[in-house]
Structure 1
Amino acid sequence: MESEASTTAKTDNSNKIPHGNMQKALAKTLDKLLDYEDVETLGDDEDEDDVGTILRGSKGNSKVQKKARTKGPIDLYFAKSAAKDIARWMHDAAIPFNAVNYPSFQVMVEFGQFGIGIKAPSFHEVRVPLLNEEVAEVKNSLNSYEEEWEKYGCSIMGNGWTDKKQRTLINFLVNSTKGTVFMESVNASEYSKTSDKMYELLNRFVERVGETNVVQVVTDNASNCVLTGKLLETKCPHLYWTPCAAHCLDLMLEDIGKILKIHNAIKRAVTLNGYIYIRPGVVNMLRRFTGERELIRPAVTRFATAFLTLQRIHKHKVNLRKMFTSEEWTKSKWAKELSGKKVYSIVMMPTF
């Protein structure tokens, strides 16, 4: 026997409601419902046991399982409205667009199937209890990684970099067959160049992970890191210090860049790029001749950037010569400038 509220809902849905009055009619219907959870509209062949169960995954993500039902025009209307509201919230909060690619985003969207009665977390809940719960779950998940370290061994990796405040920061990570775990970021501005202090820092992480578990320590090739690696190998005979391969390649590019002919080529490329990219009119002209392609190709390090930019200039050398010999350039104000003539001579060199 159906309840009075369910009967009322079916009667209202059976009437033809103009699109403009749809939301008002739905609001009136919802006001008549005494309990959102007790009036879940079920089909003739559905049981309440089949509707909405929450399962906790191994990583603490909530997954929603709900029996599929036939969707009508109203579902389509509200689906589009919900998507628009989610997008508007992301725009207002300046959330990166690639956040929708996270699996947790889809879990959150599926959670919305529980209906209008669901209550969003408050600022305090997100900031304190829910955050603490997430931290606790992450720490618990590390247990499986630590078991892997004990069983197969692991590598400690130190990645140093300089931030906008010119501070030397070192990120420490632990890598194993199960994956990579971030441990800590350390401000080493005061002692990054001192081998004794660096040894103390690395040794602290070795002991933290477990001396018997660490098989390898990876750092860059700075002289203090080389000495630090030797000290670690002396203390722990089973441990190996390994120089970072990416840093090795970067140092090789730096040395290659010191060769006279290559040094001059890089210097001319810097002059060419510097002239073009500080003049919006010349940049627009360049893009017309290169098919919207850029000459500068940024990379992780400045030495890699220099060689990638040389590669890009070499690829578009014909287009560059067409640009600097075109009527658009020769009649422009830039062709009459001293710096413009210098750049023109670089592009038109036989060895360009």
Structure 2
Amino acid sequence: MEDNVVVITAHEQTQRTVDDWMTAECIPFNMMRSEYWDRMVHALMNVPKGFRYAKLESARTKRVEVTRGRVTMRVEELRQEWPTTGCMLQLDEWTDRRQRPHINVMVSFPKGSIFWRSVCMSGCNKGASTYYGILKRAIEEIGAEAVMGVVMDNVAVCAPAGRMEEADHPHIFSVPCTTHSLDLIFESFTKITFVGEVIKRASEVAKFFTNLSRVRDLLLYSNGSVMAKPGATRFATNFIMLSSLQGLYLPLRACLMDDDWKPAIVHTSQHELFVRVTHAIFDDTFWAVIEKVMQTSKNLLKLLKKVDGADPTINKVYARMDSAVEKHRESKHFTEAEKDELEAIIMRRWNTTTSP
């Protein structure tokens, strides 16, 4: 029994050492899902006698160069397969913490995707010729015979850049990003009168319950949860926000029945907003329209979640889009005119996306 106690204590002490490191250095827990975490732990458990780990100076200099060399060799090994398997170039825009724009160039192929390079666009002309230059350089480095197509956003400069590249290499086709195309479908939905009106009211409710701490605490006390807010550039988040609002229907009603729900809970400058939010939550028509709007988007949201993941989805996208359109046609929530309008929006954007 004593031996078992000693073993258990030793195991616990080892685990506490790991816990202390993760807690003190704010290491995200989901890091433990990484295959590299398991590989590192197993390597340390079977470390050869005399092993000494790299200290700070060595880790940030010599070991970085060693890792860079290994990655370069692995990328080169993969690149040798691309003339046989084919690959796709992807251009993705992003902004760093200093608000400088960048374009990431990535390569997708049957085994996955890799980062190729990042181009800082700060102070650069962001016209089609610039995008074309980035594409041309990447294609020359990879080899034109290995590149099958180019995927870019739906911004105005990308289409002519893609056509310029297609003129140079007729076998390479340019297509818009499916995720971005779906997001633009949601943007078009928001321009439909009844959709835009309910999103405006729902956004007011969502921001009221997320921006004001006393109101937010009251919602949490009423068995609610943190409400999703719409994002500034992702139009699909408007519909995610509506879905979140639907799930909080009962807690929101409970908030309004609470003794603390009175104008004094907010600043006097927000009393009018307090009244509008109260009326919206008690308005059955408001909730009915939310349900109607969700019928326009729920199948497309599922598709967006699918294509925005890491796994290959091209073989599933077409069937799911056909299914979403068919369900719109069969829905009893819309008039025939509304069905025609929704289908026209979807197909106009979808045809642009799927036509090289």
- Decide: shared fold, TM above 0.5: yes
Instruction: Select 1:351's aligned residue among 285, 296, 308.
Output: 285
Aligned residue number for residue 122 of structure 1 = 55
Alignment-derived partner of residue 311 in structure 1: 243
> Contact 2:207–2:229 (CA<8 Å) still a contact in 1?
no
* Matching residue of 2:204: 271
String of CA shifts for 1:170-211, please: whole Å, max 9, x gaps.
111111112211111111233463011111111111111111
Identity of aligned residues (%): 26
Deviation at 1:121, TM superposition (A): 2.0
Asked which structure has the greater RCO (Cα within 8 Å, sep 6+), the reply is 2
* Native 8 Å contact 2:87 2:108 kept in 1: yes
Query: Which residue number corresponds to residue 86 of structure 1?
Result: 18
Which residue matches 1:131?
A: 64
The structure 1 residue matched to 2:217, chosen from 266, 280, 284, is 284
SS at match of 2:102: strand
Q: CA deviation at 1:237?
A: 0.6
* 8 Å CA contact retained: 1:172, 1:185: yes
2:112 to 158, 179, 182: 179
Q: How many residues align?
A: 283
2:272 corresponds to which letter in structure 1? L
Q: Is the deviation greater in 133-142 or in 232-241?
A: 133-142
Q: Does 1:108 align with 2:40?
A: yes
Kindly tell me: are residues 227 and 326 of structure 1, through their superposed partners in 2, closer, same or farther at Cα, counting changes over 3 Å?
Answer: same
Check conservation: 2:214, 2:265, Cα contact below 8 A. Answer: no
1:332: how far off? Answer: 5.8
Q: Is 224-233 or 164-173 further displaced after alignment?
A: 164-173
Counterpart of 2:22, as a letter, is: M
Structure 2 unaligned blocks of 5 or more: 287-356
Counterpart code for 2:228: I
1:183-222 correspondence to structure 2 within 5 Å: 183-191=116-124, 193-222=126-155
1:260 has 2:193 as partner: yes
After TM superposition, the structure 1 = structure 2 runs for residues 36-55 of structure 1, keeping only pairs within 5 Å, are: none
Say whether the 8 Å CA contact 1:172–1:182 is kept in structure 2: yes
Distance of aligned partners of 1:307 and 1:94 in 2 relative to their CA distance in 1, 3 Å threshold: same
d(CA) in 1 for partners of 2:53 and 2:232? 40
- How far apart are the structure 2 equivalents of 1:331 and 1:227? 55
Deviations 1:15-51 (A, max 9, x none): xxxx9xxxxxxxxxxxxxxxxxxxxxxxxxxxxxxxx
Kept after mapping to 1: 8 A contact 2:203/2:229: no
Computing the radius of gyration from Cα coordinates, the structure with the larger value is 1
Distance 1:272 1:299 in 2: 15
Structure 1 residues 77, 114: closer, same or farther in 2, change over 3 A? Answer: farther
Is the 1:191–1:198 Cα contact (8 Å) retained in structure 2? no
- Greater per-residue helix proportion: 2
Correspondence for 1:293: 225
Match of 1:218, SS?
Answer: strand
- Tell me, in whole angstroms, the C-alpha distance in 2 between the residues paired with 1:194 and 1:114: 54
- Which of 113, 138, 145 pairs up with 2:78? 145
* Equivalent residue letter for 2:23: H
Contact 2:90–2:150 (Cα < 8 Å) also in 1:
yes
Aligned equivalents of 1:299, 1:147: Cα separation in 2: 41
TM-score (norm: length of structure 1): 0.72
- Match of 1:99, SS? helix
Specify whether residues 97 and 319 from structure 1 end up closer, same or farther in structure 2 by C-alpha distance, changes over 3 A only.
Answer: closer
Q: Distance in 1 between matches of 2:127 and 2:57?
A: 44
Query: Cα RMSD between the aligned structures?
Result: 2.8
Conservation of the 8 A alpha-carbon contact between 1:168 and 1:192: no
Give the counterpart letter for 2:16 in structure 1.
K
